[in-house]
Structure 1
Amino acid sequence: MEKDLLTLLRKGGLHLYARHGTATVGVDQAYGTFHSCRYQRNLSEHGRREAVYYGQMLRYWQIPILSPITASPFCRTRETALLAFPTNGVQIDPFLFEIFMLGGNLTSAEQTSILTTLTSKLEIKPSQGMNNVMIGHSFPRDVGLGILSNMGTVVIKPKGPGRGYDIVKKLTLEDLATLDSI
């Protein structure tokens, strides 16, 4: 199955939604002050190594990646994107902050609105022969794309606007490293 996945990834047309690398312990304090990393959980040294390795693995497997990389406005997601893809550029997508907010106290209407927007984004097919990478946050259990490990990736196949998407596979960073031998 993994060799088929590698072929699919090399063909392109997929979304790769990845959680940022391992962050420092603590709590984000200043929501909305995204330019100052001082009040946020940031990547740990281990998280930085994970991010570099993630990009190296995608290049090693010759998986075509669309530029720019999309990231949440948090410093840890922006840094993950920059370390993993130093030549692709990073575009901030404020919507990915809303994914982070799914873990908070939202009304069911607010949660439904975020998930509806997520679906509409994931239905759009990337440019022919390319894969779109989004660096964001994990989801709560049984919500959206579910819980993701640090640098975990959900491989998503869009069906087109209004037609939904399929989750092809959830990968850990370790899975990505062994795509051809599992």
Structure 2
Amino acid sequence: MADFSGRNIDKNQLLETLKKGGYVLYFRHADPAETTGDPGLSNEGIKKSELLKSLFVREKINVLSPVWVSPAKRTKQTAEVIFGTEKIQIDTALYNMDVILKDNPVGDEKDTKVRLIKMLETIPNSEMNTVIIGHHFTFGIENIRIPYLGVVVIRPMGIGEGYEVIANLEL
């Protein structure tokens, strides 16, 4: 299997790694019903979300609460189908992921960047993974297009220590 950048990824090895925990999983929401406004998920998006839920259960990939989502209906609905409503925490900063790539943001953008980077640098509790469901974002990796329900797997190094993108693929 190849990731969005064309690198070969051993899916089974990646699943084993995720079972051990300690990662941040940044998902793009599932397929929306519409491409304008604030739509919910299409039938295809719901179906794919249910398949991803089955993967998490079957492979025993543990997820830390909360599951972070943007305020968009499609991100909330994706999280609800996969993880249930009780785990969801809305964060408006997830609408503005591009601020991470700005060198010297000021004001609200600076605060948003700090909050987002903290999410990505925080190491989850033992045997758990943090899940974020947002929108298309490249993490500064050239020539990638994250498909609906594509995931960017991130290894957090700790607050102030950075993070590393280790894989990006469609599960």
The TM-score range, normalised by the shorter chain, is 0.7 to 0.9
Deviating more after overlay: 42-51 vs 150-159: 42-51
Equivalent residue of 1:109, what SS?
coil
Gaps of 5+ in 1: 29-39, 177-182
Corresponding residue for residue 127 of structure 1? 125
Corresponding residue for residue 109 of structure 1? 105
What is the total number of aligned residue pairs between the two structures? 157
Structure 1 segments of 4+ aligned residues over 6 angstroms from their partners: none
Distance 1:151 1:171 in 2: 9
The structural deviation recorded for 1:42 is: 2.1
Corresponding residue for residue 79 of structure 1? 77
Equivalent residue of 2:165, what SS?
strand
**Residue type of the alignment partner of 1:4:** Q
Alpha carbons of 1:164 and 1:136: their partners in 2 closer, same or farther (altered >3 Å)? Answer: same
Corresponding residue for residue 145 of structure 2? 147
Question: Cα deviations across residues 124-173 of structure 1 (Å, max 9, x unaligned)?
Answer: 101111011111111268469x631100011111001111111111120x
Corresponding residue for residue 7 of structure 2? none
Corresponding residue for residue 59 of structure 1? 57
Distance 2:63 2:145 in 1: 24
Gaps of 5+ in 2: 1-9
Alpha carbons of 1:13 and 1:95: their partners in 2 closer, same or farther (altered >3 Å)? Answer: same
Corresponding residue for residue 135 of structure 2? 137
Deviating more after overlay: 116-125 vs 76-85: 116-125
Q: Is the 8 A contact 1:65 1:130 kept in 2?
A: yes
Equivalent residue of 2:105, what SS?
helix
The structural deviation recorded for 1:119 is: 2.5
Give the TM-score normalised by the residue count of structure 1.
0.74
Give the TM-score normalised by the residue count of structure 2.
0.79
CA RMSD between the two structures: 2.8
Distance 1:166 1:140 in 2: 13
Equivalent residue of 1:84, what SS?
helix
The structural deviation recorded for 1:115 is: 4.9
Q: Is the 8 A contact 1:141 1:147 kept in 2?
A: no
